[in-house]
Structure formats: structure tokens, C-alpha cells
Amino acid sequence: MSNIWEKPASHGEILKHIWKHLDLGTLERSHPFHTPVFGTVFDNQANLRVVVLRRFWRRPPQLAFHSHSGAPKIREIQENPFVSWAFYHPAEKLQLRVKGRATIHAGDHLAEEQWQATELFSRRCYVGEAPSMESKKPTSGLPDNLIDREPTRAESEAGKANFVVVASTIDQIDCLELAVKGHRRSLFTWRDDGEMETKWLTP
């Protein structure tokens, strides 16, 4: 790990580093940013779960993951779109806490684009039951005939009706970089007019 205090710090340099790792998080399955924690608030309670980071856009900054339309988090977002994300990269010693507003995309251009990019094996999840349904016995929620195999392309199409993309604006990034010589914390906030404001915080 490079020493963050070796060269002059600028918010621009830190943001470049953040963007690079969010890009890698969408591309590399083994990258720690591939599986962030995504938070909703429902009934005054924080609900956290791991998701797979599927898309990252820089301008305006946004993140997205895929989900089943029947998942509780979808209803939660419809009631309260204010969401948060947490990322941690152990080798880079980089933590990001992101705040944003989420929208659900079903049957639109983004959902179609992401569905086409989804492998048959992953499409199987959407052919099955929505997550968080009660069952009398342990269950995968998958149809019996798909339990131990990938669906054919034709079979996978049954999942399309249940497939949604959850996209979230990035309204704020609280970035913590750990270092032996002292940690460093920076805050990036995007105003409604798209302009970014920056601050330093004590870690």
C-alpha cells in the first residue's frame, strides 16, 4: 500500500482513485467493491444486505445492482428512496460510505440492457420465487426442474418479468483511507445542480 501522506493530497486525486475502484468493482468478480453492503430504511429501521455491483456511471455519478421485483427491498425503496452503500477494500485500506436516492427500473431501456448482459445462470434467480418468502421447509426458491442446471435461453426468459435494476444516485461519498501515519477522511457532496462540494474530516 502506498503511503497516502507521501504526496500532496487533493480531492481530485482521491476521487480518481475512488472512480477507478468502482469501475473495477463492476468488472472483476474478485474485487472487494464487487459486493458492497446496500442499506434501506423501513419502519425507522436500517436494513442491510450484500448485493453485486453491476453498473457505475461517473456523470452524473450513479451505481446499480440487479434484483427480483418481489424482494422486500424493492417495496422499501418505493416507500423511502434514500439509500446507502458501504464498500471496503482491505488491500487499499479504503472505505466508502455512499448516500443516494434509488429508483427501480423494470421493463425500461436500462432493465433491457442489463437483462441482455445477464448470464443464463444468473437469470435463473429471477425465474424462481422472490426472496424473503416464508416456506414450510428449507428451499432454494428455484423451480424443481432448474435446481441443478442452467436454464436454456428460452427458459430464462420467464425471469425477465421479475427482473429489476435498482439504480442509485451518488449524492455523497464519505471516503476513509487508513494509514499507519494517520488516517485521512474526505467528503464529496453533489448538489442538485450537479456541482460537487468537498471537505476534509477528521477520521
List residues binding ligand FMN (CB under 6 A): 35, 47, 49-52, 65-67, 71-73, 131-132
Give me the helices (H) in the chain, please. 11-27, 72-79, 109-116, 120-127, 153-156
Residue 50 vs 201, nearer CB to ligand FMN: 50
Residue 11 vs 49, nearer CB to ligand FMN: 49
CA–CA gap between residue 73 and residue 21 (Å, rounded): 26
Residue 14 vs 166, nearer CB to ligand FMN: 166
Smallest distance, ligand FMN to C-beta of residue 76, A? 7
Smallest distance, ligand FMN to C-beta of residue 201, A? 29
Exposed e or buried b for every residue in 138-172, given b needs 16+ CB within 10 A?
eeeeeeeebeeeebeeebbebbbebbbbbbbbbbe
Residue 4 vs 83, nearer CB to ligand FMN: 83
* Residues near 203 by beta carbon (within 8 Å), at least 6 away in sequence: 176, 182, 183, 184, 185
CA–CA gap between residue 26 and residue 71 (Å, rounded): 22
Residue 14 vs 71, nearer CB to ligand FMN: 71
Smallest distance, ligand FMN to C-beta of residue 12, A? 31
Smallest distance, ligand FMN to C-beta of residue 39, A? 10
Smallest distance, ligand FMN to C-beta of residue 67, A? 3
